[in-house]
Structure 1
Amino acid sequence: MTARKVRSYRLGLVLLAFFICSQAMALETQLLGNKEDSELPQPGVPVFGQSLFRGAFKDQPFSGFNPDYRITVGDQITLQLWGAYSFNATLPVDPQGNIFVPEVGPIHVGGVKNGALNDFVLRYVKRVFKKNVQAYANLEASQPVKVFVTGYVNNPGLYNGFSSDSVLYYLDSAGGIDPESGSFVDITVMRGGKPIQKINLYNFLVKGIMPSLQLRSGDVVVVGSRKGSVTIKGAVQQAAQMEFIGPYTQLGEVLLVTKPDPQANFARITQVVDGLRQASYLPLTEAMTMRLYPGAQVELVRDNDIKSISIRVSGELDGPATYVMPYGATLNELMIRLNFRENADQSAVQLYRKSVAEKQRAALDRSLDALQMEVLTRQPNTDLEKAAQKDNAAMIQNFIEQARKAEPRGQIVIANSPNAVEMLLEDGDELVVPLKPSTVSVVGEVIFPTSLVYSKKRTLEEYIELAGGFANNANQEELIILHLDGTISRIEDRDFDNRLGDRLRPGDEIMVMPKIHSSELQVTKDITEILYRIAVGTAAVLSF
C-alpha cells in the first residue's frame, strides 16, 4: 500500500470515528433533552431567545473598528510613514507580538488596544526620527482563528472566523442553541482546558451587554444543558419559556426579562412543589415574591379578562391534583372529568370556597363585635353587679380573643340538592373526595375525644360513654352531629339513649358543646350562636 493510500485510509478511519462520536453525542443530547419532558412548558410558547440565531451573526463577521480590541499574534497592521522618511506596508504581528519597521526596528504591539495603536507606534518612530516624520498605523485585519463550538448546539464543530468576532458569531455558525436541550444562561468559553468566561445571553437580549472577549485558535465555546424553566404567558409583552439558574426563581425576577402588560394585575400560578401540584391565583403585587420551581406555569391576567379557572382536587382520586376549567364551568363538568377510586365516597363530596370562608369570617366577626359591645356597654345597678360584671366581662373577652382565631373552612353544602351539579365553580375552589368512612368521632366537652368504629346498634349515650363521658363543662341538653357532607343535626337529650338511624352515619362528628356560664340571657344567646357558628364553620368545638 502506497504512502498516499495509507494516509487516505487513516483519514477515513478518523472521519468514521468522528461520525460515530457525533452520532453518539447527538443521541446523548436527545436523551438528555427528553429527561425533563415533564418540565417542558406548553407547546406553542417559544423559548426566550430562540429567534436569536437565524444567520444574522454568521453572515456578518465583525470587521469594524473596535477601540478595545487588543492586538494579537497574526493580526495585519497597515503602517504609513511620510515626511523625511517614507514607508508604506502591511506588517504581520509575529509570534513574539512584534511588527518590524525598517530603520526603526521591532515594535512590540501585542496587547496594545486598537484605539491606542497609532499613538503607540508613533512614539517608537519618534525615538529614531526626531523631526519631520509622521506615522499612521491601522489594524487591517484581525487574526484568523478556528474555534470549537460544542455542547447543546445544533451543529457542533470547528468554525473559522477572526479573533475580533463575538461568541454570537460562532454560536450562529454552529446553527444556534438547541432550544429544547441547550441553555441560554450557561455558556462557557474554555482555553487550554480552563474556563475563561461565563456568558448569560439574557444580559445581551435584555440589556445589550456582551462580554468583550478575543478568541484564539483552539478556544472552545461550550453550551451547557438547559436549566430549570418556567412558562409565562397571558398579559405579558412576550410569552416565553424563561430559563433560570438555581433550584427556584421568583416571579419578579422573571418579569424583569419578559415585561408584564401594564393592565396585568393578577397571576395564575400552577406548579409542582414537593410532589404536590399546586394552583394559586394572586394579585400581581403579592405574587412578585412567590417562588417558582422548574416546570411552573404562570399566566398574567387582567381581572376583567379571566378566561379560565383553576380547581384543586384531593382525596380518593387518581389523576391531576389541579384542573384548569373554562370560566363558567359547572360542578358537573368537573365531576365527569374525575377518576374516582374504588373506595371513594361520592355521596359526601366536599366543596370549599375562599369567598364563602371570607363571608363566614365576616359574619363571625360581626357576632363577636356585637357581643363585645353588649358586654362593654351594660351598666350595673349595684356594687355587687359591678363586681360580677367585671369578672364576667374578663371571661367573655378571653372567649372573644379565642374565637377571633377560628378559621372558617368555607364549605358549601351540596348534599340533598338536585341543582348542586349546575352550580358555577369559582377560581381557587377546592374539591375533596373522602374515603368511605367506618368511624364516628366524638369531640368537644368529653373526657377523651376520640374516633370509634361506627355501629348502628350504638346510641349517642353509648358513644359518649366510650369517650369517657361528659366533661364537667359539657352541655348535656343538646348535641350537634356534623355530617361528612357539611349538613348538621341537632339532637336533644331525650334522644341520647335511642338509636338514631340515618341521623348518625359513618364519618360523622358528635360535637359536645360547652355550657355557657352567664347570668345574662342575651349574652348567653349570643355566645351560643357564636359557638354553633364556629362548630359548623370550622368543624371544631371552642371551649368557654
Structure 2
Amino acid sequence: MATLLTHTGRVLILLISWAIAAGAWSLDTQQLDKEHQQIELGDHLPAFGESLFKGAFKDQPFRGFNGGYRVTVGDQIALQLWGAYSFNAVLTVDAQGNIFIPEVGPVHVAGVENGDLNNFVLRHVKRVFKNNVQAYANLEASQPVKVFVTGYVKSPGLYPGFSSDSVLYYLDSAGGISRESGSFIDIKVLRQGKELQRINLYNFLVDGRMPALQLRNGDSIVVGARQGFISIEGAVQESGQIEFIGPTTQLGEMLMVAKPDPQANYARITQVIDDEQQASYIPLQEALLAPLHPGAHVELVSDSDISSISVRVNGEVDGPAAYVLPYGATLQDLLDKLRYRDNADPFAIQLYRKSVAKKQKVALERSLDALEMEALTRQPTTTSDKASLKDTAAMIQNFITKARKARPRGQVVLANNDNAGDMLLEDGDELVVPLRASTVSVVGEVIFPTSLVFNERNTLEDYIELAGGFSNNADTKELVVLHMDGTISRIKQSKFDNRLKGVLRPGDEIMVMPKIQASELQVTKDVTEILYRIAVGTAAVLSF
C-alpha cells in the first residue's frame, strides 16, 4: 500500500466498446471527442475514509494511559509515602521534567514509561529512606495541550485536548479532511517545524494501525494536498475514490483497500493516457497488474455470461478427473458424460459443494458462539452451584475448542428428488461415484469402531454387539444412521432389535453419539444439536 493515491483527474467518456469472447479480452482505444457531452466517471463516489470524521473521535477524548505512555511535562502524578514517613499529594511534572518529593528532592520522571513509574519513584525514595518507607506513584492526568491542525482540513485552527489524544481526535475536531482537496495518505505531525511522524490513514482504515504519539503544546498536524486517485465500484466491498502516490498504480494494490467480492471475475477499466481515452474489459487476474493512471475508473464485474465452470469427478468412473462445462450446466449434463465402471453405484452418487460447506461452517460457528455465551454468562445461586458451573464451563470450553476444528464436507443431498438432474452445477463442485458397498461402519461411542460385512438379517443391536457394545459414554437411547446419499435416519431405542429392511443399507454408517452430562437442560439441548450437526456435516462423531 506504499504507493497509494494521486491528484483529481476528470475522465471524459463518449463511447465505450467491449469486445467479449470466452477466454479472451479486447482493448478499445478511442480519441476523445471534445464536442460530445462530458461524463465524469466515479465523481459520485465518496473518498475512501471520509466517513471517519463524523464526530466519533472528537466526542471521545482519551484521558487514560497505557503501560507504554511516557511521562511528559505537565502530567500529574499522585504520590503516596507511608511507614516511617507519610506524604500524600498530586504532583505536576515541571518544565524541567521533575517532580519534587519532600525530604527526597527533585526526581526526573519525564520520559519514564507509565508501566515503570512506580518502581522508578520507589528507587529514588529508597536512596534517602533506607528502611520502613514505601511509595506508590500513579499517573493522575495527562497534560492538557493545544495542537494546530492545518492544511487541507475543513476548519484549520488551534484545538485543545490531551497529550494522550490521537491524531484522529484533532482531525475530527477540525471538521475532518476536505473531500475535494485533502489527502488521507499524506498527513504530517510537526514539532518545532520538524517532521515527527508521517501518517497514512489507510493503514488505520484497513488494518487498524495508528502510530502511538504523545502530542505537545504547539505541535502541528498538517494534511497534505490530495494525491492522484482512481475510482472503483461494482463487485467490491467498499466503493470509493482511492488515493495513491506515484505516476501510476496497479489494480491489485487498490483492491487491498476496496476488497473485491468473491464472485468478481472481470474488470472494466476506463482511463485517459496521453490525452487518449482507453477502455478495456479484461479478466480480473490479468487486470491485477494492469497500470492505472490518475483519474482511472474501474468497475469490477461478476460476469457469468461468458464464464465456464470446472467440476471434479472421483470414484468408479473412467475418463478425466475434471470436466469443464459451460456456465449454467446441470447435474444431468455432467452425468451424461460419465462412463461408469462395473462396480460403480450410480444410485449413491455424492455431490460436495464449497458454498454448502461454508454455510454449514457458519451455522456451526453461530451455534458454538451461542453455547459459549450461555456457558459463560450463567450465574450461580449457591456456593455449590459456583463450583459445578465452573467445572461445566471448563468442559464446554474444551468441547467448543474441538468443535471449531470440524470441517463440514458440504454434501448436497440428491436422494429422493426426481428433479436432482436439473440442479445447476457450481464452479468447484466435486462429484463422487462410490464403489458398490458391501459393508456397514459402526463409529462413535462403541468399544471397537469398525466396518462389518452387511447382512440384511442383522439388526442395529447386532451391529453394536459386533463392534464390542456401547462404551460407558454412549447415548443408548437413539442411534443415527448416515446413508451414502447424504440422508440420515434417527432410530429410537425401541427399534434397535428390528431388522429395518430398506432403512439400513450397505455403505451406511451407524453413529453412536456421546451421552451429554450437563446440569442445565438448555446446555444439553445445545450440545446435542451441535453434535448432530457435526456428525451429519463431517461424517464423524465428536466426543464430549
With a CA cutoff of 8 Å and minimum separation of 6, indicate the structure with the bigger relative contact order.
2
Say which one has the larger Rg: 1
TM-score between both structures, scaled by the size of structure 1:
0.49
